Structure 1
Amino acid sequence: MASQRITVLGSGFGALSTVRELRARGSKNEITLVSPRSELHYLPGTIWIPSGLRTREQLIVPLAPFFERMEVRHVSAEVTSLAQDGRSVQTTAGEVANDALVIATGGRFIKKLPGIEHAITPCEGIAAAEQIRDRLQAMQSGTIAVGFAGNPHEPTAVRGGPMFEFLFGIDAQLRREGRRDKFELVFFNPSKEPGARLGAKAVAHLLAEMARRNIATHLGHKMVRLEADKVVTEGGEFAADLILFMPGMTGNAWFDETALPRSPGGLLQADAQCRVPGFEHVYVVGDSGSFPGPDWMPKQAHMADLQAAAAAQNLIDGLAGRPQTTGFKVELACIIDALGTGTLVWRTEQRNLLLPPLRLMHWAKRGFERRYLARYR
């Protein structure tokens, strides 16, 4: 059989894992990856930039060696639309034709809250974490507000875990520097039970940890707006000299230029095999997709890896004319780091495990980062 053309969109966890899984499963087909840059930016490590534990250079991995090993052609471009039911990808560098397509371009933060320009959104990238670092270094005292919100139409389209890590990491950093008494930390969230996706025990632990660290909370009130020096909610307002805020996520802007089916929250609809309904040989993995499953299904690298494995196998089977039956396990696995310790949270549809803060878990998270990035160096 002649080689068929596979196109993967994106260069984050879902996209790169798809490439690895395709090759690991014996696919010899031509693979083209489309993304604006041939680099992996390891965003989970940005939680350590404010303290100096990580730098930009340590978190960026050039992908040219990986692409060479995997025999992948990289097209440096942004996706603008699709044509011919997904068989043609329209990009800023021209058309890329394919026989099968995997969409893994991530999500987009909802920037509709009035005054959101006054906040730093940490997961927007390395530059945002560097901005937090620089602001902390320049501050002599003040109030630091840390919070997140979700997509009201898409329960899973939220990334709250890193905000707990920035919160506890900043607290630990200020204590190490002997400056904690000059700052007030405030955590805010429209839910009375922030981090509910982690499980009830985790919520109780997180709130208890905030109390232990003398971190104030402002919970259960809908956001109204942000100002340069305050956070305003329906339940009141409070002063803030530095605001870190993670809004909910929705789909990429280029989705609007396609006929791809969308979820109520703006993500791409997907079935249990990571297929986009109504579009033959079109798959979605990671933050771009809305998948069937429990409302606590995480938007994290681990989940994207699991979905990538399923999508790769189904793509191979689909091109071969075989039934596509491979699903993915829904699993939340994270270590909530606090700079010196880490709290392990693990959740499946059968179990929910929470370990107390351990120094071992902090080092485990660092070790995982090293092993994960080694795949792409």
Structure 2
Amino acid sequence: MSRITVIGAGFGALTAVQKLRKLDADLHIDVVAPKPEFVYLPGLIWIPVGLRSGRDLTLSLDSFFKRLRANFHAGRVAGIKHNGRLVVTDNGEIENDGLIIASGGRFIKKLPGIEHAITPCEGIPAAEKIRDRLAAMQDGGTIAFGFSSNPKEPSAMRGGPMFEFLFGIDRWLRKQGRRDRFELVFFTPAEKPGQRLGEKAVKGILSTMAKRNVTTYLGHKIKGFEADKVITEGAEFNADLIVFMPGMTGNKWFGESGLPLSEGGMLKANRFCQVEGQDKIYVAGDSGSYPGPGWMPKQAHMADLQAEAASVNLLEELQGRRPSATFKSELVCIIDSYDTGMMVYRTEKRNVVTPAFAGFHWAKRLFEWHYLREYRK
């Protein structure tokens, strides 16, 4: 019986567990993560405006692991040994015949004063902090929303959610009749924010910002933050609340793992999601740097596609065959605005952007319900 270790408990990791079990009923699967729980990160955008709570988005994985006969090990990975055949955690070591790394990335928090900004995709506590700060701003104020990338790994960013936090909070304030008390500001080093979504989407996003009276500071490198100020090379402006998503890089332990890294600090993978030059070591989701178009996103959908390919290929390797499964570069998202949404779809052949429509907001909520059914059983 082969033994596979999956590192992580997010989208890519859980998809890998499902795919592995579907392909091999007898496989021994070990899962390593700090907690046996799944946080549905796309729903974080709705916490500040009261459409979701932390409890809504946090699911125990105990029954899921039991049903799929996966052995959960609570711990934080510190490294690997013996060419990946041994995973070292702060709670023991785990042997394997094959390894899938789907432990996500980490935000680059090196800008001076970044402690004054809230990074919403860090999890539920961050989203709740935005909610609480908004509740305290009864008399209004200035809210600044921004993001940056990893200069050495341009695709390693979380730009999409920042548009959703901005547009969602704008719409929510308007529904409350309080929008006139607030100034909303958007800033990013990119001259055309949202380029990975396509030119049509960029025009739509900037047009929406203009229509909603959002002040923009674009194309200037971010120098740092103060408690009530954003500082860029082109301008400084005051802000009572700063919501900022920095670029991403790989997990800290990657640097000492001996595994090949991209210039931006991610695990370097080939088109089969195999870590380059490694025997039976695969990567899925934000942990990896993959060949493909420059617009290929860091999002849950891509993590799922990569995890499926990684699972198929790892089992092929274990059976003495060469990996053959590849993943499709596909961007699918709904940019939500509290009660409306704009859908963006992009492949290497097509790029579709729809007008904002209330039905897409409900489609996003329906997808959340559908996706989480597997973990609520």
Q: Structure 2-normalised TM-score?
A: 0.99
Deviations 1:222-273 (A, max 9, x none): 1111111111111011111100000000000111221010000000000000
Deviations 1:122-147 (A, max 9, x none): 00000100000000000121100000
Instruction: Give the partner amino acid of 1:47.
Output: I
Alignment map for 1:1-377 (pairs within 5 Å)? 3-139=1-137, 140-377=139-376
Q: 1:349 and 1:102 mapped to 2: Cα distance? A: 27
Instruction: Give the partner amino acid of 1:283.
Output: Y
Q: 1:232 and 1:176 mapped to 2: Cα distance? A: 31
Q: 1:28 and 1:344 mapped to 2: Cα distance? A: 40
Q: What is the CA-CA distance between 1:23 and the residue it aligns to?
A: 1.5
Contiguous gaps of at least 5 residues in structure 1: none
Instruction: Give the partner amino acid of 1:24.
Output: K
Contact 1:80 / 1:257 at 8 angstroms: preserved in 2? no
Q: What is the CA-CA distance between 1:45 and the residue it aligns to?
A: 0.3
Runs of 4+ with >6 A deviation: none
Q: What is the CA-CA distance between 1:173 and the residue it aligns to?
A: 1.0
Q: 1:113 and 1:81 mapped to 2: Cα distance? A: 27
Q: 1:216 and 1:251 mapped to 2: Cα distance? A: 33
Q: What is the CA-CA distance between 1:27 and the residue it aligns to?
A: 4.6
Q: 1:105 and 1:318 mapped to 2: Cα distance? A: 22
- Partner-residue secondary structure (3-state), 2:135: helix
Deviations 1:298-321 (A, max 9, x none): 000000000011001001101001
Deviations 1:307-346 (A, max 9, x none): 0110010011010011211100000000000001010000
Contact 1:87 / 1:97 at 8 angstroms: preserved in 2? yes
- Partner-residue secondary structure (3-state), 2:143: strand
Contact 1:48 / 1:339 at 8 angstroms: preserved in 2? yes
Q: 1:158 and 1:213 mapped to 2: Cα distance? A: 25
Instruction: Give the partner amino acid of 1:48.
Output: W
Q: What is the CA-CA distance between 1:277 and the residue it aligns to?
A: 1.5
Instruction: Give the partner amino acid of 2:201.
Output: A
Q: What is the CA-CA distance between 1:192 and the residue it aligns to?
A: 0.8
Instruction: Give the partner amino acid of 1:135.
Output: R
- Partner-residue secondary structure (3-state), 2:375: coil
Instruction: Give the partner amino acid of 1:15.
Output: A
Q: What is the CA-CA distance between 1:35 and the residue it aligns to?
A: 0.2
Contact 1:102 / 1:285 at 8 angstroms: preserved in 2? yes
- Partner-residue secondary structure (3-state), 1:375: helix
- Partner-residue secondary structure (3-state), 1:376: helix
- Partner-residue secondary structure (3-state), 1:187: strand
Contact 1:144 / 1:184 at 8 angstroms: preserved in 2? yes
Q: 1:165 and 1:246 mapped to 2: Cα distance? A: 12
Percentage of pairs with the same residue = 60
Q: 2:278 and 2:311 mapped to 1: Cα distance? A: 16
Q: What is the CA-CA distance between 1:155 and the residue it aligns to?
A: 1.3
Q: What is the CA-CA distance between 1:26 and the residue it aligns to?
A: 3.1
Q: 1:312 and 1:49 mapped to 2: Cα distance? A: 33
- Between Structure 1 and Structure 2, how many residues are aligned? 375
Deviations 1:166-194 (A, max 9, x none): 00011011111111000000000101100
Q: 2:194 and 2:66 mapped to 1: Cα distance? A: 40
Q: 1:105 and 1:313 mapped to 2: Cα distance? A: 19
Q: What is the CA-CA distance between 1:51 and the residue it aligns to?
A: 1.0
- Partner-residue secondary structure (3-state), 1:8: strand
Say which is worse superposed, 317-326 or 200-209, in terms of deviation.
317-326
- Partner-residue secondary structure (3-state), 2:279: coil
Q: What is the CA-CA distance between 1:279 and the residue it aligns to?
A: 1.6
Q: Structure 1-normalised TM-score?
A: 0.99
**1:84–1:64 Cα change, 3 Å:** same
Contact 1:286 / 1:303 at 8 angstroms: preserved in 2? yes
Instruction: Give the partner amino acid of 1:331.
Output: E
Contiguous gaps of at least 5 residues in structure 2: none
- Partner-residue secondary structure (3-state), 1:168: helix
Q: 1:280 and 1:225 mapped to 2: Cα distance? A: 42
Backbone CA RMSD of aligned residues? 0.7
Q: 1:25 and 1:210 mapped to 2: Cα distance? A: 47
Contact 1:27 / 1:316 at 8 angstroms: preserved in 2? no
Instruction: Give the partner amino acid of 2:284.
Output: V
